[in-house]
Chains A and B, each alone.
Chain A
Amino acid sequence: MSHVEYENINLFCKKLETQGINTQLITPSPLAPAQLLEIDASGWGKAAEIAQKDSWRWSGVWAEDRATTFSVYNCLERHGQYLILSCHLPVEQAQLPTQSAIYWAANRPERNIQDLFGIRFENHRDNTRWTRHQAWDENTYPLRLGFPAIGYNTQPTPPDKDYPFLKAHGASVYEIPVGPVHAGIIEPGHFRFLAIGETVLHLEERLGYVHKGIEKIAEGRDPAGLARLAGRVSGDTTVGHTWAACLAMERAAGIETPARAAFIRGILAERERVINHLWDLGALCNDVGFGFGFYQFGRLRELWLRENQNLFGHRLLMDSIIPGGVNTDMSTLAAEQIRKSIIYLRQELTELITIVDNNTSLEDRFLAAGLFTTELASALGALGFVGRASGQSFDVRKDIPYAPYTQLQMRVALEEQGDVASRFWVRYKELRISLSLIEEMLDKLPAGELQTIWQTPVTAATGFAAIEGWRGEILCFVRFANNNKICRYWPRDPSVINWPALEKLTLGNIVPDFPVCNKSVNGSYSGHDL
């Protein structure tokens, strides 16, 4: 820990102590590069208050059943330093003060913990269930140790009714329920609109439909099994989530990937970003009826998917990252091919973006639609392109770099306006930056091994990792039991933080603009619901 970082955290501890909250900084940190600070459960809410005043960004909360106690962790970030607060709760008195009164982003993650662990958050303003629909009973908690992964309740699951959506009472206000089965080829979720005429007065998201028990079925897996599961947390972020899980496991095991493997991981991750951004640029055009853009960007994307299949054996790059390294190499021939396709893609993008930029009808639909102000983005701690289109420059690759980004020149695309157009442009710029990054990685690609031999971690070893996925910061926490088996896996997709942004930025827009607003945020359902 550098001097400045130490001062930052020291200052924070002092502030907590003056409020009568006991703190203990655990050194060396078992969650490095994050620092771990144990605090009293009673000071949980107050700590958030102090952190918020010191402009720490709230980034996630998770819990662990440790047989006699529950451990709860809260990840904060400030000036490129992660600080994880933790506290221990007796099982019979599983409650904590809420942080959601201070941090808006904490609302649903806290309710998720309540549904899966039965830990209550006092004074939560919105204390309704979130992840629990009807698949398990109210007083049953799947992530507690005794709960069986298989065999619980084999009866058909009834539909989820009686969820307390906000009701409107005005005479001219009407409700539009949408989903969970949507009208396109898209993941399931429910949206409840309150509208007056064409204008959206209120939007409430209801997610959790694709909750398939990822955290539970991770229990007892070996590292290779967990890596495969992580690759399916969200299909479009397979590289990002596998990388995060592998890095966390490698840190728990105390091993480091060879430099060559780290660079190949970087290339795979940037390719994933390019492919997804191309898809979204096209889809945004499609949502406002500009078929030309949809087909052109889709065409370029397909070329890169095929190149993935050719060079790495999978169109979406699934399972190419494994614990300890990668299972795919980069031949000189492959590197040459990639360079060529980058040059081609750049030319094509330059040509396309001129056309898109000159298209006034597109401008008409994108500009000022789905406005998400910098104030709101900062209050939410919005991540990835959603944050960066609203002036939030945080990028794990630049601010808390990991290999190979420690050796690369990182630029971060930024826009301030916060509308659909900004999110379109930020994606475009990020895409161009990724192309340069891939070239730089190919230039600097070191020789060497592709994999480090795996070492079984000691019992109860923990690991924490943060990776910049294509949607933004991905967090991951793992704990090993004995015999190389996982006992806790907690992945956090950036969508968990970003989904609430959609509720705010849709307000005041017309209902038909919702698809383009939604696409501009593009939250993952699977990565959110787990």
Chain B
Amino acid sequence: MLQLYYKIFKTGVLTEKVAKQLPSTEQHDTTIEEIGLSLKTVVDKHFRGSLAIRQVDAGSCNGCELEIHALNNVYYDVERFGIHFVASPRHADVLLVTGPVSRHMEAALRRTYEATPSPKWVVAVGDCGVCGGEFGISYASCGAVHNVIPVDFTIAGCPPTPLALLQGLLTLCNKR
């Protein structure tokens, strides 16, 4: 047990303030902290401090999910900006939908949308959700999310990086 506490103290706080750990190839010049704080300001003002997101995989390859998950790791720690992921659409302000919508998920996605209380926003995440991506429209896929439910905002990328996700959420909140 002592080792555990020792490890915790030794690891310290890694949550990023500046972009010093960010790879140089990243196209963004703003830092996580800057984006995050702007985001927090908007979330505080319009959402009383907390923005609840329900993530729905409507047919993705799971790549987008991996990056959305990464938002919760210690480096991004998205909860500090007032953003948290919830288990039910009934608790959500935002639906974060990934994938080309597979036809087999079409009804489930509609029902999830209906179960989300208004006012609600739908964000299509990843190239597939934005335009159908590599899969497009087929006998088994409806393509972009907006072909099934109304979409308010899109975050492209295959998959979008955690930073791109944060920037996307900030832009969404600023629009409102």
Residues of A within 8 A of B (CB): 133-136, 142, 147-153, 156-160, 180-181, 183-188, 208-214, 216-217, 228-229, 232-236, 238, 279, 292, 295-296, 298-299, 301-302, 305-306, 309-310, 313, 315-316, 318, 351-352, 354-355, 358-359, 524-526, 529
Contacts and interface: CB of A to CB of B under 8 A. Distances in A.
A108 to B, nearest CB: 15
Nearest to A315: B161
Contacts, number: 183
A214 B135 contact: yes
A217 B138 contact: yes
A148 B140 CA distance: 11
A393 B88 CA distance: 41
A236 B66 contact: yes
Interface of A, helix, strand, loop or mixed by DSSP = loop
B140 A186 contact: no
A209 B108 contact: yes
A217 B135 contact: yes
Contact of A355 (B3, B24, B104): B3
Contacts of A148: 139
Nearest to B135: A212
Closest 8 CB pairs of A and B: A235-B63, A213-B140, A135-B103, A183-B87, A159-B107, A235-B61, A235-B62, A157-B103
B29 interface: no
18 contacts: A149-B138, A156-B106, A157-B104, A180-B108, A188-B108, A211-B104, A213-B135, A232-B133, A235-B60, A235-B63, A292-B7, A292-B8, A298-B72, A309-B25, A310-B23, A315-B67, A354-B3, A529-B102
Interface residues of B, number: 61
B74 A298 contact: yes
A213 B139 contact: yes
Contacts of A210: 57, 59-60, 99, 102, 104-105
Given A157-B103, A309-B26, 11 more contacts: A181-B108, A185-B57, A209-B105, A210-B102, A210-B104, A216-B140, A233-B61, A235-B62, A279-B66, A524-B62, A526-B59
B107 A158 contact: yes
A148 to B, nearest CB: 7
Contacts of A149: 138-139
B129 to A, nearest CB: 12
A234 B65 CA distance: 11
A238 B63 contact: yes
B151 to A, nearest CB: 17
B141 A213 contact: yes
A271 to B, nearest CB: 14
A295 B74 contact: yes
Contacts of B87: 183-184
B42 to A, nearest CB: 23
A502 to B, nearest CB: 17
B104 A160 contact: yes
Interface string B94-127: 0000011011111110111000000000000000
Contacts of A187: 57, 60, 62, 65
Contact of B102 (A150, A212, A354): A212
Contacts of A156: 106-107, 110
B137 interface: yes
Contacts of A526: 59-62
